[in-house]
């Protein structure tokens, strides 16, 4: 005889997976705010972003596949960088012919607070293979400076004998 542990809330795997998927989709629709430096608007499509910094610039990389370059709007106003766009649903196929739709569609807005160390006059953006890269150069005074210090021996101070006047 096999002994099995009683688990009253255990449901068949397919039911649990379906419930988890539904709960995840509900919570993914809510906007997430991480700190005060970034805000997300409501919408079905929120592109992920990587932000990194080196000694000379701050770089943002947004994944925006399926969006044409001319459909992206990048603006900087009062130290806030805003990226807007929209991924449109292809109407070539009728919706009832789809078996599954997992990609997100809709408009999005991502906003980032730009640090004071960034030179707002020298911002560049490029778009390649569905990745939007925005480079924000730092101001010259914010870049680290290296000063060459020569190391050498210094002559010992000479002792002067006092003479009577």
Asked whether residue 136 is assigned to any structural domain, the reply reads yes
Number of independent structural domains in the chain = 1
What pLDDT shows up at residue 88?
80
62 in a structural domain: yes
Domain residues for the domain of 95 are 32-142
Predicted confidence at residue 147, as pLDDT, reads 75
pLDDT at 40: 42
Structural domain contains residue 2: no
In a domain, 56, yes or no: yes
Is this prediction's pTM over 0.85? no
Per-residue pLDDT tens digits of the chain, which is 165 residues long = 666 665 555 555 566 677 777 777 676 655 544 443 444 433 467 889 999 998 889 999 999 998 888 889 999 998 899 999 988 877 665 656 777 777 778 889 999 998 888 888 889 999 999 999 999 998 887 667 777 788 877 666 666 565 555
The answer to whether 82 and 21 have CB atoms below 8 angstroms apart is no
Q: What's the CATH number where 99 sits? A: 2.60.40.790
Residue 161 maps to a domain: no
Joined together, the tokens standing for residue 61 give 């990389």
Does residue 137 sit within a domain? yes
Q: Per the domain annotation, does 76 fall within a domain?
A: yes
Question: Where does the chain have alpha helices with state H?
Answer: 13-28
State the burial class of residue 81 (Cβ atoms within 10 Å of its Cβ: 0-12, 13-18, 19+): buried
Cα distance between residue 50 and residue 75, in whole Å: 18
């Amino acid at each position: 005889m096999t002994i099995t542990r009683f688990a009253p809330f255990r449901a068949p795997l397919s039911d649990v997976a379906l419930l988890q998927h539904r709960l995840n989709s509900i919570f993914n629709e809510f906007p997430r705010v991480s700190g005060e430096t970034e805000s997300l608007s409501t919408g079905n499509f929120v592109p992920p972003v990587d932000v990194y910094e080196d000694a000379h610039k701050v770089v943002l990389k947004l994944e925006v596949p399926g969006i044409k370059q001319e459909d992206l709007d990048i603006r900087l106003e009062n130290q806030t960088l805003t990226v807007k766009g929209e991924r449109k649903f292809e109407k070539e196929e009728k919706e009832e012919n789809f078996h599954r739709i997992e990609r997100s569609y809709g408009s999005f807005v991502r906003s980032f607070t730009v640090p004071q160390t960034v030179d707002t006059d020298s911002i560049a953006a490029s778009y390649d293979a569905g990745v939007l890269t925005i480079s924000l150069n730092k101001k010259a005074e914010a870049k680290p400076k290296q000063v060459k210090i020569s190391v050498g021996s210094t002559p010992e101070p000479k002792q002067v004998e006092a003479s009577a006047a």
